[in-house]
Amino acid sequence: MEPIVTITGGAIRGTTEGGVTRFLGVPYAAAPVGPRRFRLPEPVERWAGVREATSMGPTCAQSPYPAPIHALIGSDGIPGDDYLNVNVWTPDVGGAGLPVLVWIHGGAFVRGSNARRIYDGTAFARDGVVMVSINYRLGISGFAVLDGAPSNRGLHDQLCALRWVRENIAAFGGDPDNVTIFGESAGGMSVAALMAAPQSAGLFRRAIMQSGNGSVAAEVDDARLVSAALADARGITPTATDFAALGPDDLRAAQNAVALALMTDPDPQRWGASVIERGLGIMSLFPVIDGDILDGTPTEVLATHPRRRVPLIAGTTADEFRFFTVPTGIAAGVTADTLPFVLTRYGIDPVVARTYSARRPDATPDQIFNAVLTDWCFRAGTMDLAVVNAGTAPTHVYEFAWPTGIAGLGACHVLEVPFVFDALDQAHTLTGPTPPQALADEIHAAWVSFATDGTTGWSAFTAEEPNVRVFDSPESSTVAGLRADELAALRQAARA
């Protein structure tokens, strides 16, 4: 018999297969179109009868990834208005008190969705966890600072989705008092922002930040410079009224034009220092310090609000930045002659390359560049957040070090995701044909354990004992002070 549950919007019908029940494309808020595009999320409009929840729902309008990245992970794009939706996987609709994981997808705040195959929650439900994956507004719709509109609309959507989980997850067998949020890349940065947000109190118990950064939040005045450029690209003013009159194609065209301009000419005078520094040189639209959700960067907020800290897993992959530079051909252009110039572009004193080269005597200039940028964009901001959070809350840090079978990528950005989801069969374009299942078993089990009772299976991280779990094959290990000399040199180079 097909499962039916009743939630705040009405009755929904899912499907059951192999002991796991799925409810897909379930709206948690009203469709953000027309006059709602730039408002705070509004309650979902109730439906009559039973709504089918048997296929993935719409996704926020977005451009496909560039061809080399698309070849690795694909792109997202399901048309429709009800893209503020969730997917739910549960082992027992009639159960109660099951731990809950809520997934926030990545995509630099301009791409991505909860419909990607490597985000399938079947393995979590198989192992006793109710898993929810959410969509939220992206790009201009979610993060442009516009006159006449609240800021951080995408984060408000995430909070709305978490309130939906709080109100409805018991209908799927979940425990609303045992919710863990987790996300990767922009999703990991969102996790940090939600930890810092006062509005999230009581909505989750634990958090997992994968390949995120606790310093990602622009100053509002700097973000307005980006909004002005977006408006100029379409010949309008940076107001909610003017942008609401644009269709999805116009929004995408403006986003793409400004993203390209920012990456080609990362001038802090043109875009604002905080956009360049905290957008990591690759993001133009992302959360802002609005005095509402964020009073500062997430790490700054958590440093002054210890009660907002929660048990945390935080980590990165060993070679994050290769994902952005190797497939696109950027890495091939980094030579011994150009390395100082490309490091300077990111505001990093090239002298730091000496420390990284000393540890990697056989590395090529592009490999040194990618190692420095991996730490600059992801690892440093992750460790800063971990140090602050560990002051009062159990904190566990990891590095995913297994290198993919795809030549040149190493342990790149996104690579750990199919291991976390135990979905390796959906990811061979990224992992290569023979990824180690035992490593997926290990890291997936750690995430299940953490969501269940807060344990991980490896030693906690503290400022005094900075333990890092290095996930690798054939064997993982726990290392204290992993490459601390490089991080110290990077921080010094950034201050130069």
Catalytic sites, residue numbers: 185, 320, 413
Task: Say how many Å lie between the first and final Cα of the chain, rounded.
Answer: 66
Q: What's the rounded Cα separation, in Å, for the pair 386 and 372? A: 20
- Residues 423, 425, 430, 432, Cα dihedral to 10°: 130
Strand order in the sheet with 10-13: 4-7, 10-13, 50-52
What is the Cα–Cα distance from 472 to 380, expressed in whole angstroms? 21
Q: Are 311 and 454 in contact (CB under 8 A)?
A: yes
d(CA 14, CA 94): 13
Nearest alpha-carbon partner for 483 in 491, 472, 474, 495: 491
Backbone angles phi, psi at 466, to 5 degrees: -80, 70
Residue closest to 310 by CA, chosen among 162, 454, 456:
454
Annotate 292-305 with b (16+ C-beta within 10 A) or e (fewer): ebbbbbbbbbbbee
Q: Tell me, what DSSP letter sits at residue 22?
A: E
CA 394 to the chain's CA centroid:
21
Tell me the three state secondary structure of residue 15.
Answer: strand
Q: What is the DSSP string of 369-432?
A: HHHHHHIIIIIHHHHHHHHHHTTTS-EEEEEE-PPPSSTT--S-TTTTHHHHTT-GGG-HHHH-
Total Cβ atoms within 10 A of residue 68: 13
* Distance set, CA 125 to CA 7, 120, 132, 308 (Å): 20, 10, 10, 28
Residues forming a β-bridge with 477: 470
Query: What DSSP element (H or E) covers 70?
Result: helix 67-73
